[in-house]
Structure 1
Amino acid sequence: MSKTPLTVRGAEKLREELDRLKSQERPRIIRAIAEARAHGDLKENAEYHAAREQQSFIEGRIADIESKLSNAQIIDVTSLPANGKVVFGVTVVLADEEDGTEKTYRIVGEDEADIKQGLISVQSPIARALIGKEEGDVADVQAPGGNRSYEIVEVRYE
């Protein structure tokens, strides 16, 4: 399996979630199952079945996070040479060539992407069009809504 790029911040968030699931959620579910078992007949015990379902979800999420972290290539963008080139992990300020509006995006791993927070996946059409370009270059993006051109105003290695 190939390594998946992940920012330092993204790896920290996954580790925090993993720690919370293991230290808080897992024990809470175990207590809920024990309490539901004490109520008797398990066949018709809705609390027991709900708790087991939650346990299954949490255990699946723990396995998923552990897998992601073990297959991650954690990239610290602050240790890269700040030469104005767009690479994984940078923050990019773009100016729309059509209307001049500016947008700021950070190129992150697929699991970290959240467009509402300005985090775009390295696999997204915008990120693919930007990678390898430099400040001042124009990137043509073939997005689902049509072709757009963006000038790269600034590249920040933060």
Structure 2
Amino acid sequence: MNYTPMTVRGAEKLREELDYLKTVQRPQIIEAIADAREHGDLKENAEYHAAREQQGFCEGRIQEIEAKLSNAHVIDVTKVTNNGRVIFGSTVTLLKLDSEEEVVYRIVGDDESDIKHNLISVNSPIARALVGKEVDDVAIVKTPAGDVEYEIVDIAYI
């Protein structure tokens, strides 16, 4: 079986969404379908068809989240001994060598990645270049605009 790495926070967010879909959204959709049915002829009932479509999306998302959680390998990086290497879940402070700009990234699972919050996917080119490296190592990231070099300033397991 193929397990998907996920942080504790990523798994919590998926469980929260699943709970919301099952306890709030699903009952609202069922109620909307029941209300639309009362309006008569279902063939030309736009509210009924819209509610059924919404139900399909909701049920599909529920199945998708359940599948992701069942295949998740939840990794709590705070319980891992910091061996000084970049690993899944670690927070890495980098110095972009061409601009002397400092950036901080946390390496997370695909579903959790959000560049606006400096959460990068473990499968992204930058994360792949960083994993296994240590402080003071230089990681070379291949981009369409050319190679970008980052020096690893700090690695935290937080």
If the length of structure 1 is used for normalisation, what is the TM-score?
0.98
Q: Is 1:89 paired with 2:83? A: no
Q: Distance in 2 between matches of 1:16 and 1:146?
A: 40
Aligned twin of 2:6? 6
Q: What's the CA shift string for 1:107-138, capped at 9, x where partnerless?
A: 00011111111010000000000000011111
Query: Partner amino acid for 2:72?
Result: A
CA shift, 1:84, in A, is 1.9
SS in 2 for 1:92: strand
The farther-off stretch of 135-144 and 5-14 is 135-144
CA-atom RMSD in angstroms: 0.7
Match in the other structure for 1:110? 110
The residue type equivalent to 1:118 in the other structure is N
Distance in structure 1 (CA, Å) of the matches to 2:79 and 2:145: 36
Matches of 1:31 and 1:127, distance apart in 2: 45
Alpha-carbon deviations, 1:49-75, whole Å to 9, x = none?
000010000000000000000000000
TM-score, normalised to structure 2's length? 0.98
Separation in 2 of the partners of 1:133 and 1:41? 65
Identity of aligned residues (%): 66
Q: 1:70-91 CA distances to partner (integer Å, 9 max, x unpaired)?
A: 0000000001111221000011
Q: Residue 123 in 1 paired to residue 135 in 2?
A: no
Amino acid at match of 1:141: V
Unaligned runs of 5+ in 1: none
Equivalent position SS for 1:111: helix
Amino acid at match of 2:17: E
Tell me the equivalent position of 2:54. Answer: 54
SS in 2 for 1:123: coil
CA shift, 1:23, in A, is: 0.3
| 1:126–1:143 CA contact under 8 A, matched in 2 | no
Q: Is the aligned partner of 1:66 residue 2:103?
A: no
- How many aligned positions are there? 158
List alignment gaps of at least 5 residues for structure 2.
none
Q: In structure 1, what is the Cα distance between the partners aligned to 2:44 and 2:27?
A: 24
Partner of 1:142: 142
Q: Give the equivalent residue in structure 1 for 2:37.
A: 37
